[in-house]
Amino acid sequence: MNTTPQNPELNKKRALSCIQPTGIPTLGNYLGAMRNWVAMQDEMDCAFAVADLHAITIRQNADQFRRQIYEMFALLLAVGLDPEKSLLFIQSQVPAHAEMTWLLACHTQFGELTRMTQFKDKSAKHNDNINLGLFAYPSLMAADILLYQPNYVPVGADQKQHVELTRNIAERFNNLYGNVFVVPEPYIMKNAARVRSLQDPTKKMSKSDENQNAFISLKDSPDVIMRKFKRAVTDSEACVKYAEGKDGINNLMEIYAAVTDKKLDDIEAEFEGKGYGVFKAVVAEAVIETLRPIQQKFDDLMKDKSYLKQLMKEGSIRAQAVSHRTLNNALKKMGFVLV
């Protein structure tokens, strides 16, 4: 995201996406979001953040957490995000996020937060640590977004509620103090694949699944990927055909289509008369080849922490320039004394 004024008529639309460093993303995260972020860089003025502040609503081991932040930043680079095209930064390295959160928290209603489904879900999973951050983190998410004045926030269906709350907060603030924030819209990404669990294809693929065979991690080795696909749930028909009631095979066909750009009809024709064993192996090989260059670049980046830290520093400087303009404008409008 550019930090210098431009001719507004020449400006691209802005978009912002954040991802938590709570484990290695899955094939579903890549095909459903991250791959599309790469394409967005040429269409929009984009900002991407590793949302490490969000991760601490759940207790983290410090050494592991630090490694996960490095890994997520390296993965964003490995999948193709380009710091020359986009603003790429670590959330905690930009103080304006925490400052803006307090301003927006004071304009977020208690009832709005109680209706957030993710708070209910996470409270149920972590009932020994239902902290204020877990309850109020949608205000932090709103700060993440509004600081960069994006027109769009790429989201999946499970995140649309947060964008709607952000819109409500922005409109409330603007009505009180004047035109401070762009009111963003959810952006449903084109060609976003819906990747399901390999063990329960009625659910989406998730890195938090207790069954390790249910998801493909972007760091899984070729042998592991092959084994997981061979164990994928299908049905008893042994017919590679996209149809209602064939959730398992439909999921494998959609994955294969996403990594090869083949149409479902063509896939059916390609595997006519062939069993599921053959098909699973071919899907696994296609995924392995898709992930191979990403894994290689990731491994190279993780060997050079000083380079990663330099890119983080450059990103934080750029992000601070953008975010402080918005923060200072909000503070001024509210009546704070700036020096």
Q: How far apart are CA 57 and CA 169, in angstroms?
A: 22
Q: How far apart are CA 81 and CA 93, in angstroms?
A: 19
Q: How far apart are CA 192 and CA 30, in angstroms?
A: 9
The string of DSSP codes covering 77-110 is HHTT--TTTSEEEEGGG-THHHHHHHHHHTTS-H
Query: Judging by DSSP bridges, how do beta strands 87-90 and 45-50 pair with one another?
Result: parallel
Report the catalytic residues.
122, 204, 207
* CB crowding 56-93: b at 16 or more within 10 Å, else e: bbeeeeeeeeeebbbbbbbbbbbbbbebeebbbbbbbb
DSSP character at residue 213: G
Q: How far apart are CA 331 and CA 71, in angstroms?
A: 35
Q: How far apart are CA 256 and CA 265, in angstroms?
A: 12
The tokens describing 150, both together, are 């994006």
Q: How far is CA 149 from CA 6, 23, 184, in A?
A: 15, 28, 8
Task: Choose among 78, 68, 35, 24: nearest CA to 212.
Answer: 24
Query: Judging by DSSP bridges, how do beta strands 45-50 and 185-187 pair with one another?
Result: unpaired
